[in-house]
Amino acid sequence: MSTETQTDQQFDPYAAPTDEAVEGTVYTASGADWDAIVAAQAERGDERLVVNMGPQHPSTHGVLRLILELEGESVVEARCGIGYLHTGIEKNMEVRTFTQGVTFCTRMDYLTPFYQEAAYVLSVERLLGIEADIPERANILRVLMMELNRISSHLVCIATGGMEIGALTVMTIGFRDREKILDVFEAVTGLRMNNAYFRPGGVAVDVDDHGMDQIADTIAWLEQRLPEYAAFCNENPIFIGRLGGVGKLDLASCMALGITGPMLRSADFGWDLRKSQPYCGYETYEFDVPTWDTADAYGRFRVRQEEMWQSLRIVKQAFERLKATAGQPVMVDDPKIAWPAQLSLGNDGLGNSPEHIKHIMGESMEALIHHFKLVTEGFRVPPGQAYVPIESPKGEMGAHVVSDGGTRPWRAHFRDPSFNNLQAVPAVCEGSMVSDVVVAVASIDPVMGGVDR
């Protein structure tokens, strides 16, 4: 950009000035106002058609706005417009305690709540220096819930992607099987979504006999039902024709754009943080990292399909470990961190146990004061910063948590894989047909709650 041009625009401290000439039209990442886009198109005077796809289009997986420039039915340029689902979650976490922050970050990517919770609490635990003190049963429960969540997230991706190309049966069975997993979440945590189950130091509550029965039933159900996706799709010539060769993004492009997850593994690179940088005891589980070599939408489907089987393999191992560790603690033995202190549920599953209420309300004034201060003020975290990445269903999910020594995060920032993976939209869409944009975006599997947060 020339010096003369730069003076007319807002100075960008991250873009070093250069004397090299810029060829072509330069667009902002925000997508710009629609009137401005139309006016710019009119000034060019060419035959291109500008199409505003979204933010309410049914195949943009939320409120993603795509601005497409077309020549006939071919996509010449594609741009993303984001921000339509901005919730201020990260900012809100700065005025809540470290434990209350879980309630906010679980709502970011609403299809993968346990992964936001895990990345956040692991970062807080690193700041507290208690990573080695997390009870084994708590880590088993974390792994179990995350892997069930991986299956449910992939089911939604496959179901909605199938629906958009007319495979309605794939959609119906995908949501059917996801319901079984949500029943497990409800039995264990009390909620189907936005669970706030992972807490700094462990998990909120232990799983009871009803939850164990629900897990066993769901494992048997998935073993019976998962083969249907291969039967419907793998060798279906129409399915292969719609996905094969669409949305191609080779390994070099994935690396350049910071793409992770199934998109990267579909380019035949088996990078998985559960193997390369294990956490929560993943190094003790037996599972494989599926890859594919086509680097297209079909390859991403096959990777996700096989990952569901590998996740079920991990779930079965975790379930056996839960049976072997029955009765063991699920929270660190530190009353200054464990919140609420020694919490257990009553027979109705809705509140504190009568024993806990009796203790804090009738037996010990000190216990009541401690409980009140811990819940309202929270615990202090030593000054510092930590970033712990984990492998979410969509790629690397990381939480950068900064503490100033108080009871609330000074800053909590998330590396959401949907946000990074959306950088690939121009690469996978430009040069293709309009109908292939739907397939290409679906293969990225973005969730706008995680993008905008």
Task: Report whether pLDDT(45) > 70.
Answer: no
Same domain for 110 and 28? no
Residue 344, pLDDT score: 56
Task: Report whether pLDDT(31) > 60.
Answer: no
Residue 391, Ramachandran bin (φ over 0: left; ψ between -120 and 50: alpha; else beta): beta
Would you state the structure tokens that stand for residue 255, as one six-digit string? 């690396």
Provide the pLDDT confidence category of residue 55 given band limits of 50, 70 and 90: confident
Q: Which of 62, 81, 100 is the last residue of a domain?
A: 81
Number of structural domains, the chain? 2
Residue 8, pLDDT score: 45
How many residues make up the chain in this entry? 453
Residue 69, pLDDT score: 86
Structural domain that includes position 74: 3-81
Same domain for 69 and 98? no
Q: Which of 81, 109, 141 is the last residue of a domain?
A: 81
Residue 347, pLDDT score: 52
Measured distance CA(62)–CA(60) in Å, rounded = 6
314-342 residues labelled b (16+ CB within 10 A) or e (exposed):
bbbbbbebbeebeeebbbbeeeebbbbbb
Full DSSP string of 323-392: HHTTT--SB-S-TTTSSSTT--B-TTSSSB-HHHHHIIIII-HHHHHHHHHHHHT-----SEEEEEEEEE
Strands 74-81 and 384-392: unpaired
Q: What is the pLDDT of residues 278-304, one digit of tens each?
A: 999 999 999 999 999 999 999 999 999
Same domain for 94 and 16? no
Measured distance CA(193)–CA(276) in Å, rounded = 29
Provide the pLDDT confidence category of residue 390 given band limits of 50, 70 and 90: very high
Full DSSP string of 156-199: HHHHHHHHHTT-HHHHHHHHHHHHHHHHHHHHHHS-SSS---EE
Same domain for 271 and 335? yes
Give the mean pLDDT of 135-147. Answer: 94
Measured distance CA(227)–CA(366) in Å, rounded = 57
Percent of the chain with pLDDT over 70: 87
Same domain for 72 and 98? no
Provide the pLDDT confidence category of residue 77 given band limits of 50, 70 and 90: confident
Cα-based torsion angle of the residue sequence 375, 116, 222, 175 in order, rounded to the nearest 10 degrees: 100
Same domain for 70 and 97? no
Full-prediction pTM beyond 0.75? yes
Measured distance CA(262)–CA(268) in Å, rounded = 10
Residue 181, pLDDT score: 94
Report if residue 260 sits inside a domain: yes
